[in-house]
């Protein structure tokens, strides 16, 4: 038996009993109009993703600076650079932590509740951001080990934000706005990347004016002032600020009514949480009926809800869906993180950034920050918000297919005539095309792979399955971070960065990324369309048998 709401007002929810359904009915939430509480939830969860993106991608801004400071070779004609193993560790260790955090906190979010573990992730991010900035030691090795230690735990906290934020926003939202709300949370990543570039520009300009230095070719040692060691630390430490500012509001979020009712089996608390979310009074029609609140939901134990994760019934209902969400996320992150973490190398390879020896350390940081800022401003941020505006109109499936398709097209358009783009006078065209790949990543699979896993799995597995899908994505990011670092090296051993073996070259690396995008497009066809459908309809939460066909795209 369930109870179906018949009307909603700003003051009261009027409900009536029905006897023809079995399970829970969340149609009040599914039909709810936009309210201030939705906006508050988007901002609170979104600021976590702002912090995530800033912390993950700001490391790409300072790796050149770290090489100049800690690995300077006096007799070298080139500025110091991080050795291959150190560069791989510094760039990739946070991604390893993120993968572990997605799996652990995704599982914990289903076991203990979304809210109970939500604040822990933020505390980890704050402590680890500050710890990264305070990396100590008397030798370069000690500093790098300390930095990697804290960045692993930073990634661990960031990883927990993925399944928890997506699940919380999905379970709060209505069917007509759910995609936009989840996309808006994820879109804060764009502002995080943008802010990383802006902070690098600002801090480097301040220190350049206070401590001017000549180019490396003029004075190798003097081109990196001693105060440059403060610069990278300040940039990393500022990642803790937005997390600190939103901690209180994050802890005031109520548990999602869907978790309370469907997983925790506490219908009275579910009614209270629902009333708080919708900002209405929910009358209790049957307070004396064994103290059960039946105004919205009535708990019914059903045998079909006993199957576990990866059981035969789960695999029959959701196995292909999980494969589709995980594989698509894996492939998009190989390409996306390769492009993001190594923008500076790509821009240097085509000549958009001057040769490192013609700049001081702070000049180089300034120009790398400016390049990231411009790409984020013109390609990354608009792509995210196009998704927010259109996802509930044209659907997740179409956006993901179109995104993967154009990422493939533009990557091949960059790679095949690569020598044309790297010639003098053609750099602007390359940057425009490169920016378009970011636009269609974010108005495409980089956003939709985050959204869909929060919509199509049962409530008791929702956070776990999202964590598994996200962890597959981070596995792709690790492949991209480590693989691209070596693969993009020049095929001529004499032209590689210090300590690196010859690679397949930038052109061939871009071709590989294009092929990877094509694989992501193919796996998209395993994922159902969830536009306009309730979470219970997509997850088949209330089905008593397996005779009903799984959800299909419309």
Average pLDDT value for residue range 91-100: 91
3-state secondary structure of 4: strand
The whole-number pLDDT of residue 476 equals: 94
Q: Is the pLDDT higher at 423 or at 79?
A: 79
CA 112 to CA 423: how far, in whole Å? 57
- Does the structure show a pLDDT above 70 at 23? no
The whole-number pLDDT of residue 15 equals: 37
Is residue 206 a contact partner of residue 231, using CB atoms and an 8 Å limit? no
Q: Tokens 């939705």 map to which residue? A: 38
CA 23 to CA 275: how far, in whole Å? 19
Please, what sign has the CA dihedral across residues 181, 185, 186, 192?
Answer: positive
The whole-number pLDDT of residue 7 equals: 42
Percent of the chain with pLDDT strictly greater than 90: 45
Q: How many CA atoms lie within 13 A of 147 on its CB side?
A: 25
- Does the structure show a pLDDT above 50 at 200? yes
For 303-327, the pLDDT digits (tens) are 445 678 888 889 999 999 999 999 9
The whole-number pLDDT of residue 327 equals: 97
The whole-number pLDDT of residue 333 equals: 93
Q: Tokens 């009712």 map to which residue? A: 261
- Does the structure show a pLDDT above 70 at 550? no
In eight-state DSSP terms, residue 356 is G
Instruction: Using CB atoms within 10 Å of the CB of residue 77, give its burial: 0 to 12 exposed, 13 to 18 middle, 19+ buried.
Output: exposed
Please, what sign has the CA dihedral across residues 189, 194, 198, 204?
Answer: positive
For 233-288, the pLDDT digits (tens) are 999 999 999 888 888 888 888 888 888 888 888 877 877 777 776 666 655 444 44
Beta-carbon neighbour count of residue 504 at 10 Å?
A: 15
For 389-441, the pLDDT digits (tens) are 999 999 999 999 999 999 999 999 988 888 887 777 777 788 788 888 889 99
User: Hey, what domains does the chain have and what are their CATH numbers?
Assistant: 26-282+311-535 (1.20.1250.20)
CA 516 to CA 534: how far, in whole Å? 32
- Does the structure show a pLDDT above 50 at 43? yes
Q: Tokens 């179409």 map to which residue? A: 398
Average pLDDT value for residue range 166-172: 90
Average pLDDT value for residue range 360-366: 94
The whole-number pLDDT of residue 22 equals: 39
Main-chain phi, psi angles of 543, to 5 degrees: -85, 135
For 453-509, the pLDDT digits (tens) are 999 999 999 999 999 999 999 999 988 878 877 777 777 777 776 667 777 877 888
Most confidently modeled range among 79-83, 269-273, 376-380? 79-83
């Amino acid at each position: 038996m369930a109870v179906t709401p018949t009307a909603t007002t700003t003051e009261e929810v009027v409900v009536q009993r029905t006897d023809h359904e079995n399970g829970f009915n969340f149609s009040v939430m599914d039909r709810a109009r936009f309210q201030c509480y939705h906006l508050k939830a988007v901002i609170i969860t979104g600021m976590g993703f702002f912090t995530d993106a800033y912390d993950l991608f700001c490391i790409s801004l300072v790796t050149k600076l770290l090489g100049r400071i800690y690995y300077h070779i006096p007799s070298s004609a080139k500025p110091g650079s991080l050795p291959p193993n150190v560069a791989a560790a510094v760039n990739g260790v946070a991604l390893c932590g993120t993968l572990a955090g997605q799996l652990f906190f995704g599982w914990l979010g289903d076991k203990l509740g979304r809210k109970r573990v939500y604040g822990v992730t933020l505390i980890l991010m704050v402590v680890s951001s500050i710890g990264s900035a305070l990396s100590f030691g008397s030798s370069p090795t000690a500093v790098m080990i300390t930095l990697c230690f804290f960045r692993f735990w930073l990634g661990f906290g960031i990883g927990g934000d993925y399944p928890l934020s997506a699940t919380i926003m999905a379970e709060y939202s209505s069917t007509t706005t759910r995609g936009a709300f989840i996309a808006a949370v994820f879109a804060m990543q764009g502002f995080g990347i943008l802010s990383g570039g802006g902070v690098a520009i600002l801090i480097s300009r301040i220190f350049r004016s206070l401590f001017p230095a000549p180019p490396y070719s003029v004075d190798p040692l003097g081109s990196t002032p001693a105060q440059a060691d403060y610069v990278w630390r300040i940039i990393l430490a500022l990642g803790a600020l937005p997390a600190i500012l939103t901690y209180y509001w994050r802890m005031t979020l109520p548990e999602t009514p869907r978790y309370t009712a469907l997983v925790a089996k506490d219908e009275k608390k579910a009614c209270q949480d629902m009333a708080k979310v919708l900002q209405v009074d929910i009358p209790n029609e049957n307070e004396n009926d064994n103290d059960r609140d039946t105004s919205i939901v009535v708990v019914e134990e059903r045998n079909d809800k006993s199957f576990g994760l990866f059981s035969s019934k789960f695999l029959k209902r959701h196995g292909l869906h999980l494969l589709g969400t995980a594989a698509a996320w894996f492939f998009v992150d190989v390409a996306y993180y390769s492009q993001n973490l190594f923008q500076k190398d790509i821009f240097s390879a085509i000549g958009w950034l001057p040769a490192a020896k013609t700049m001081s350390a702070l000049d180089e940081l300034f120009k790398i920050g400016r390049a990231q800022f411009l790409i984020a401003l013109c390609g990354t941020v608009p792509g995210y918000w196009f998704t927010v505006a259109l996802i509930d109109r044209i659907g997740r499936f179409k956006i993901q297919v179109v995104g993967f398709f154009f990422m493939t097209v533009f990557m091949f358009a960059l790679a095949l005539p690569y020598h044309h783009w790297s010639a003098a006078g053609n750099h602007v065209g390359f940057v425009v095309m490169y920016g378009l790949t970011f636009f269609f990543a974010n108005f495409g699979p980089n956003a939709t792979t985050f959204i869909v896993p929060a919509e199509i799995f049962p409530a008791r597995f929702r956070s776990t399955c999202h964590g598994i899908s996200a962890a597959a994505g981070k596995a792709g990011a690790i492949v991209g971070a480590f693989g691209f670092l070596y693969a993009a090296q020049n095929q001529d051993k004499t032209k590689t960065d210090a300590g690196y073996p010859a690679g397949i070259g930038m052109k061939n690396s871009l071709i590989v990324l294009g092929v990877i995008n094509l694989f992501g497009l193919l796996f998209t066809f395993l994922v159902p369309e969830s536009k306009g459908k309730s979470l219970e309809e997509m997850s088949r939460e209330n089905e008593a048998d397996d005779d009903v066909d799984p959800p299909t795209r419309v």
